Amino acid sequence: MKRRTLVLAGVAVPGLALAHHGWSSFDQDRPVWLEGKVSRVRWQNPHAELELDIASNLRVPADLASRPLPPQSAPVDGKALLSRAVVPTRKDARWEVELAPLTRMEAWKVAEIKPGATVGVLGFTFKEEKGDPVLRAEYLFVDGKTYGLRSSPA
């Protein structure tokens, strides 16, 4: 019985590793802005995820660089990221957005986002654009609040 459990665990772990993307997989030199309506939510670990429907006329908001950012424990130059934000070069209408682990979402007091909500996200795409469009969220803008998702609140 123990042997079967170990074999099953050994098979499952690589699948989990492929499903989770670390920060090093993403192009952190190119902050990307997305804004749209949430079509699907997966509020689970290893991190919460949203599917976001993007309008074809997506633009970086004129006030983005001047928006206040919350202090967080990671050393992130948020103002520089906001000022360098661009819209994605890909024109996909639906994006997967990787948020933070649930424990960090709870630390920020982010209420579970529901389908139909409108959110803004500043984050990073994969270094190599292959497959489905994915954005790793650095900042989440929802209901007039901003959350820094790389680390816990300072």
| Spatial separation of the C-alpha atoms in residues 6 and 12, rounded to whole Å | 10
CA 10 to chain centre: 28
Give CA–CA dist 97/79, Å, rounded: 21
Predicted confidence (pLDDT) per residue in 22-68, tens digit: 656 777 899 999 999 999 999 999 999 999 999 999 999 999 999 99
Q: What residue spans define the domains of the chain? A: 21-148
Residue that is written with structure tokens 């309506």 in the block: 37
Per-residue pLDDT tens over the stretch 70-113? 999 989 999 999 999 999 999 999 999 999 999 999 999 999 99
Q: What CATH class is the domain 21-148?
A: mainly beta
Structure tokens, 87: 């819209």
CA atoms in the 13 A half-sphere facing the CB of 142:
25
Q: From CA 105, how far away is CA 46, in angstroms rounded?
A: 12
| pLDDT one-digit tens code per residue, 135-148 | 999 999 999 999 99
Q: Exposed, middle or buried by CB within 10 Å (0-12, 13-18, 19+), for 135?
A: buried
